C-alpha cells in the first residue's frame, strides 16, 4: 500500500512540476516583446501589387500581409528617390532635416552641369552618409533588448556607415550601392554577401539569409529588416516567368502603344512588361518563404510584419518598367506616383484584418510606431518628424499634421526640383524653376490633373508659408541658377525625347513581348538601359 501511495505522490509531483514549467513557458511567450519583420521593396509602385489593383502582376504572399493587417491607402515614402527615404526609415525624420535629399552618388552644383546635364538650375549638395549622432531604429530596439538583422539594400553610406555601424548586429548584403551590381543572379558583386551557386537568385538568397537569422534567434526578440534590391534595375527574371507573363500580356490584349510624353521624358502607361513582372513575382516568392518560416517556427502569432517601398514605381527613366496609373508620374516625380506606396502593418491578434485607413502616413512614422508596438519608450527628440500610428491602428485618430517633401534636385526620371506639403486633402507643390506652385485636392483629383491654385489663392499661400517655415527651421538647402543653361539645346533634347527616344522605347517594349526575344547570354534578364 505504501509503495502504491509513494508512486502516486511521485506522479502527482511530476505533473505539478510539468505544469509549472508549461506555465512558465507560456508566461515567457505571453510577456516576450514582439518580433518585427520589416520588409522594404525598392522602386515598388503603389499599383505593383495585385491587392492594390494590378491585373498583371501576381503577388499572393505580399497580398496576404495586407489581408491580415491594416492597409494605409495614403501611405507615403518621404522622398521620390531611394536614399532619402531609407534614411527616414532609420531616423524618423523627413529628408530636409536629416540632410540626405538625393540618392547618394547623384552629382550636384557645377559637377552636375559639367556632366552634360542642361538644366535651368544647379542642384544643391546633400549629406552623403547617415549621421552617426542620430539614434536609429535598430539602435533604439537594441536598447530594449532586441537582436537586429539587416539583409539587402542599404545605400545610405559608404564603408564606416554601413548597417553594422548604425545598430544592426548582422549585415547581409548592405553596402554603398543602390542597385544589385552584377545583377540578380550569382555570382554577385557585393563585399557583404558571398556568392552562392551559379544562377542563385538574389531575392531568394536574401530571404534564406533572413530565415537563417530567425531560426537562430527564435528564442529572443528580434528585428529582421529585409530590404530587397528588387525591383530596382537591371530588371531580370527566369525564362519560365518571362514566358508566363508574355503569354498573360498577350491574352489580356496588347495595347498599340505603351508610352506617352510627360513634361520631360516619355512615361509608361501600361503594365505589360514580362521581365519586370517576373522580377516582381520572384520577390513575392521570397516574401512567402519568410512568412512560411515564421509559421513553421510558431513565431507568426508574435511577429509584427510591416511592408512598404522607398519610392514609386519606375515609369520613366531607368528601365521604364511599370506604370502607376491612375496616379500620375513615378519614381523621381513630385506627383503621387512618385511618393505614394503600398503601406501595410500586420499586428497578429490586434487591429482587425484587411482594414483600410485613409490617414496620410509616411515612412518617418515607422520608427515611433515600432517602438510603441514593442512596448518601448518613444524618442521624440530623435524621430522628430514621425508619429506613432498605434492610435490609428486601434481605430482612433491622430492630430492633423503636415507632411513635407523636399527634393531640390532633378531626378533621372523626369521630375522637377520641388518641395511639397500635404495637409488634409490638399497637396501643394512648389517648383524652383518657375517659383510658382500648384495645388491639388487629392480626395477629388487623385490623378493630379486639375491645378486649383488660381481658384484658391489664399489656401495656396497659406500652405506655401507653412512649407517654407518648416524648410527654414531645418536649414534646408535650395538649388541655384545655372548660368550655362542653353535654351536651344534644351529644345533639341525635348524633341529627341518625344520622337526618337519614344520610338526606341516602343520598339523595346515589343521586343520584350516577342516570342523570339532573347536576353543577354550571361543571364536571363535585360541589360538594356536607354538614356
Residue 529's pLDDT is 36
Closest by CA position to 73, among listed 299, 327, 390:
327
The whole-number average pLDDT for the span 141-161 is: 97
Asked if pLDDT for residue 1 goes beyond 90, the answer is no
Asked if pLDDT for residue 15 goes beyond 80, the answer is no
Residue 520's pLDDT is 66
Residue 198's pLDDT is 87
Q: Are strands 259-261 and 266-268 parallel, antiparallel or unpaired?
A: antiparallel
The whole-number average pLDDT for the span 409-414 is: 93
Q: Per residue in 333-359, pLDDT tens?
A: 999 999 999 999 999 988 777 799 999
Asked if pLDDT for residue 28 goes beyond 60, the answer is no
Provide the grid cell at 79: 522622398
Q: Residue 405's beta-bridge partner residues?
A: 420
Question: Chain-wide mean pLDDT for the chain?
Answer: 92
What is the per-residue burial (b if ≥16 Cβ within 10 Å, else e) of 232-258? Answer: bbbbbbbeebbebbbebbeeeeeeeeb
Asked if pLDDT for residue 6 goes beyond 90, the answer is no
CB 391 within 8 A of CB 397: yes
The whole-number average pLDDT for the span 450-464 is: 98
Using left for φ > 0, alpha for ψ between -120 and 50, and beta otherwise, residue 43 falls in left
- Phi/psi for 108 (5° steps) reads -140, 170
Q: pTM of the entire structure?
A: 0.92
In the block, cell 541589360 appears at 527
Residue 524's pLDDT is 54
- How many percent of the chain have pLDDT more than 70? 92
Q: Per residue in 264-309, pLDDT tens?
A: 999 999 999 999 999 999 999 999 999 999 999 999 999 999 999 9
Q: Per residue in 44-66, pLDDT tens?
A: 999 999 999 999 999 999 999 99
Provide the 8-state DSSP code for 119.
-
Residue 31's pLDDT is 64
In the block, cell 542653353 appears at 486
Which of 116 and 434 is assigned the larger pLDDT? 434
Asked if pLDDT for residue 209 goes beyond 90, the answer is yes
Residue 522's pLDDT is 59
The whole-number average pLDDT for the span 82-101 is: 98
Q: Residue 149's beta-bridge partner residues?
A: 170, 224
Q: Per residue in 380-397, pLDDT tens?
A: 999 999 999 999 999 999
The whole-number average pLDDT for the span 496-522 is: 90
Residue 518's pLDDT is 82
Residue 523's pLDDT is 55
The whole-number average pLDDT for the span 8-32 is: 47
The DSSP line for 238-290 is -HHHHHHHHHHHHHH---S--EEE-SSSEEE-----HHHHHHHHHHHHHHHHH
Name the helix (H) or strand (E) containing 480: strand 480-481
Q: Residue 404's beta-bridge partner residues?
A: 421
Beta strand extents in 85-175 (DSSP E only): 121-122, 147-152, 170-172
Residue 12's pLDDT is 45
How many CB atoms lie under 10 A from the CB of residue 60? 15
Amino acid at each position: 500500500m505504501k509503495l502504491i501511495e509513494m508512486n502516486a505522490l511521485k506522479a502527482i509531483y511530476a505533473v505539478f512540476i510539468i505544469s509549472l514549467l508549461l506555465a512558465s513557458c507560456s508566461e515567457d511567450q505571453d510577456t516576450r516583446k514582439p518580433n518585427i519583420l520589416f520588409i522594404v521593396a525598392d522602386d515598388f509602385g503603389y499599383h505593383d501589387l495585385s491587392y492594390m489593383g494590378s491585373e498583371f502582376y501576381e503577388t499572393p504572399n505580399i497580398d496576404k500581409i495586407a489581408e491580415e493587417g491594416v492597409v494605409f491607402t495614403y501611405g507615403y515614402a518621404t522622398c521620390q528617390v531611394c536614399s532619402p527615404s531609407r534614411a527616414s526609415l532609420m531616423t524618423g525624420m523627413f529628408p530636409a532635416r536629416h540632410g540626405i535629399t538625393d540618392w547618394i552618388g547623384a552629382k550636384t552644383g557645377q559637377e552636375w552641369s559639367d556632366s552634360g546635364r542642361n538644366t535651368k538650375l544647379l542642384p544643391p549638395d546633400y549629406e552623403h552618409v547617415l549621421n552617426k549622432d542620430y539614434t536609429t531604429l535598430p539602435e533604439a530596439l537594441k536598447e530594449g533588448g532586441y537582436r537586429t538583422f539587416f539583409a539587402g539594400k542599404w545605400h545610405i553610406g559608404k564603408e564606416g556607415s554601413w548597417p553594422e555601424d548604425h545598430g544592426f548586429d548582422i549585415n547581409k548584403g548592405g553596402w554603398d550601392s543602390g542597385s544589385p551590381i552584377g545583377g540578380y543572379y550569382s555570382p554577385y558583386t557585393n563585399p557583404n554577401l558571398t556568392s552562392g551557386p551559379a544562377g542563385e537568385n538574389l531575392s531568394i538568397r536574401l530571404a534564406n539569409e533572413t530565415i537563417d537569422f530567425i531560426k537562430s534567434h527564435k528564442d529572443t526578440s528580434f528585428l529582421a529588416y529585409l530590404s530587397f534590391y528588387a525591383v530596382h534595375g537591371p530588371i531580370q527574371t527566369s525564362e519560365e516567368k518571362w514566358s508566363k507573363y508574355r503569354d498573360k500580356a498577350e491574352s489580356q490584349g496588347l495595347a498599340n502603344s505603351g508610352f506617352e510624353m510627360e513634361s520631360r521624358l516619355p512615361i509608361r502607361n501600361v503594365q505589360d512588361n514580362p521581365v519586370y513582372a517576373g522580377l516582381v513575382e520572384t520577390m513575392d516568392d521570397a516574401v512567402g518563404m519568410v512568412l512560411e518560416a515564421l509559421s513553421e517556427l510558431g513565431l507568426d502569432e508574435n511577429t509584427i510584419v510591416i511592408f512598404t517601398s522607398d519610392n514609386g514605381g519606375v515609369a520613366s527613366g531607368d528601365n521604364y518598367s511599370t506604370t502607376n496609373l491612375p496616379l500620375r508620374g513615378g519614381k523621381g516625380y513630385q506627383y503621387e506616383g512618385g511618393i505614394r506606396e503600398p503601406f501595410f502593418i500586420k499586428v497578429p491578434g490586434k487591429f482587425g484584418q484587411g482594414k483600410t485607413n485613409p490617414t496620410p502616413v509616411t515612412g518617418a512614422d515607422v520608427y515611433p510606431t515600432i517602438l510603441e508596438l514593442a512596448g518601448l519608450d518613444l524618442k521624440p527628440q530623435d524621430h522628430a518628424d514621425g508619429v506613432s500610428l498605434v492610435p490609428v491602428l486601434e481605430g482612433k485618430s491622430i492630430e492633423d499634421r503636415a507632411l513635407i517633401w523636399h527634393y531640390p534636385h532633378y531626378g533621372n526620371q523626369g521630375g522637377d526640383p520641388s518641395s511639397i506639403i500635404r495637409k488634409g486633402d490638399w497637396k501643394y507643390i512648389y517648383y524652383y524653376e518657375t517659383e510658382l506652385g500648384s495645388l491639388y485636392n487629392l480626395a477629388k483629383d487623385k490623378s493630379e490633373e486639375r491645378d486649383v491654385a488660381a481658384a484658391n489663392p489664399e489656401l495656396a499661400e497659406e500652405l506655401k508659408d507653412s512649407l517654407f517655415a518648416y524648410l527654414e527651421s531645418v536649414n534646408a538647402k535650395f538649388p541655384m541658377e545655372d548660368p550655362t543653361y542653353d535654351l536651344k539645346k534644351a529644345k533639341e533634347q525635348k524633341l529627341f525625347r518625344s520622337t526618337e527616344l519614344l520610338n526606341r522605347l516602343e520598339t523595346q517594349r515589343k521586343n520584350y513581348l516577342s516570342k523570339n526575344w532573347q536576353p543577354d547570354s550571361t543571364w536571363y534578364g535585360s541589360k538594356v538601359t536607354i538614356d
